[in-house]
Amino acid sequence: MKVYDKIIADTFDILKECDIKELEVNSNVNWKCLESNEFIMERDKALELGDRTKVSTAYNCLTDNDELVNRDRILLIGKDLSEIKADTNFSRISFINVKHIDNLNKAYINVKKLEYERFKVIPEGYMVISSGIENKENIRVSKKAIKSGLNFETIGNLFINHYKKIEGVKNVVIIFLVGDYPFINKLVKKSREVDIITNVFDHILKNVILDCNICPLKKICGDVETLREEHFFKDKNFIGSKNKVSCV
């Protein structure tokens, strides 16, 4: 599962000049999670994260590369919840290190499963309005939650602890970006690359088109270096070459 590795590396490279706060990882964090999203009314709102009129992003990447994701981490760029005095823009990124899967179909299932697991983490007082189409998250945080001490350390740990209950998950990195930054457009581009790779996964498994000369995804496959590797296609008898992907 190395098809997203370049995106992970690129993301870290984009963020390397930022003032990053590393928050404490805690497997015993204590905060109630709900089974379904709550509705926080305007009068009960302390703040909103995410602005539908501004550029932001939310994306997940899987890897089995222990060098890229070698431990659980919670990274915060910007202010914590108690420090935010007005509605502000917001992005969130997750990198998940999983055990290696040889079978292409099982790998794809794992990608889709972990993509949807994020919707199951629902901290009380933290209403999530996600847009899968736009790859964005909009959050409404209640006054009660802020008063009770909800912060990004707690939220990050809730995500990590949830993911690590899933078979095959080894380590998780959660990145919160609070505010507007000039590099957000670069991260949005990375989120679109995640979608492209996942769509290529689906395309290959469905055998939609076996003639690469007429395939509309030919350019995409050619641009994603790891999708040209022979081991990635062995379940479907695909052979990667230096310049293209061909089917036999």
pLDDT given for residue 52 in this prediction: 82
What's the pTM? Answer: 0.85
Apex 57 CA angle, 160 and 46, nearest 5: 75
pLDDT band at 149 (very low <50, low <70, confident <90, very high): very high
Instruction: Kindly state the average pLDDT of the residues 46-54.
Output: 91
pLDDT 10s digits, 190-243: 999 999 888 877 776 666 545 566 565 555 555 454 554 534 445 444 433 333
Higher pLDDT, 90 or 230: 90
pLDDT given for residue 174 in this prediction: 98
pLDDT given for residue 236 in this prediction: 47
Higher pLDDT, 98 or 224: 98
**What is the CB neighbour count within 10 angstroms for residue 115?**
17
Instruction: Kindly state the average pLDDT of the residues 86-103.
Output: 93
Residue 45 has pLDDT above 90, yes or no: yes
User: b/e for 124-135, b at 16 or more Cβ within 10 A?
Assistant: ebbbbebeeeeb
| Cα four-point dihedral sign 16, 21, 26, 31 | negative
